[in-house]
Amino acid sequence: MVSKVADPGVLESTCRRDTGSPCGESRGHRALKLQALSWARERDLVIAACEVRVPRSPYRADVVAATRGLSTGAGTVAIFECKQSRADFLRDEADEPEVRRTALALADRLRTLRETIGGHRPDLRRGVGLFPEWDDVDLRGLRHATLERLEREVQSLQRRLIHRVKFARLHRYSVADHLYLVTAPGIIDAGDVPNGWGWLEASPTDHSLHLRVRPERRNVPVGLGVLWLEAIACSGARASRRLLER
């Protein structure tokens, strides 16, 4: 079942993880989701759900809404990402090429350092290779401040590459016809809006959303439209089950 109305009970249930435990979502974030659902419904995006897995990606969208006819290629699907604070927004925004270049450079430094340590510490070689330069080096248990720091930095950048480039990747892969950033009032300006995304800003005085930046139109392949319908239906089914279990 897919949600056609911004019902608070359904919305609250979709903000729980598959285990059924609360996901720690704030009231402000839930309110933005409700506003996004209402805004979408007023524009005939009536097939909608919250916390929808984006097909063929590791990401989950806050709100996804679509028009009828999506399975035939005649419909439209939109993603809404809701951000209640600037820190929340920055967690998903990063320059992917720059992050990737930095990660590759650090990984190269880390590889060089490991080889250098192996050259200076023959006692760490495992002795399984025919030639010393090709022998494995066991660094487990070695206390080396620079090595540990580089390993932490590489791991951190790899996590950023997966999570903090969400906006750029969703746009580049054309996963939806329209992409909208939905924010609380005053946390960003037009210059912060990711490339290709639209921007809906909540009013500080009522429960309406105002379109500040129009999104770039993308064309979703027919096959992906069918996957979107399945993803929205699965999210709606989870929400219905949780409501019945309460």
Domain assignment present for residue 170? The answer is: no
Residue 3 pLDDT > 90, yes or no? no
Burial 80-115 (b: 16+ CB within 10 A, else e): bbbbbeeebbeebbbebeebbebbeebeeebeebbe
Residue 42 pLDDT > 90, yes or no? yes
pLDDT, tens digit, for every residue of 48-73? 999 999 998 889 999 999 999 888 87
Same domain, 84 and 127: no
Residue where one domain finishes, among candidates 104, 136, 163: 163
pLDDT of residue 86: 84
Binned at pLDDT 50, 70 and 90, residue 160 comes out as: low
Domain assignment present for residue 144? The answer is: yes
Same domain, 89 and 189: yes
Same domain, 43 and 120: no
Domain assignment present for residue 169? The answer is: no
Domain that holds residue 191: 8-93+175-245
Same domain, 15 and 89: yes
Domain assignment present for residue 121? The answer is: yes
Report the alpha-carbon distance of residue 214 to residue 32 in Å, rounded: 18
pLDDT, tens digit, for every residue of 162-178? 445 788 889 888 899 99
Same domain, 79 and 186: yes
The pair of structure tokens assigned to 41 is 């419904």
Domain assignment present for residue 215? The answer is: yes
Please tell me the total count of domains within the chain. Answer: 2
Residue where one domain finishes, among candidates 106, 132, 163: 163
Domain assignment present for residue 2? The answer is: no
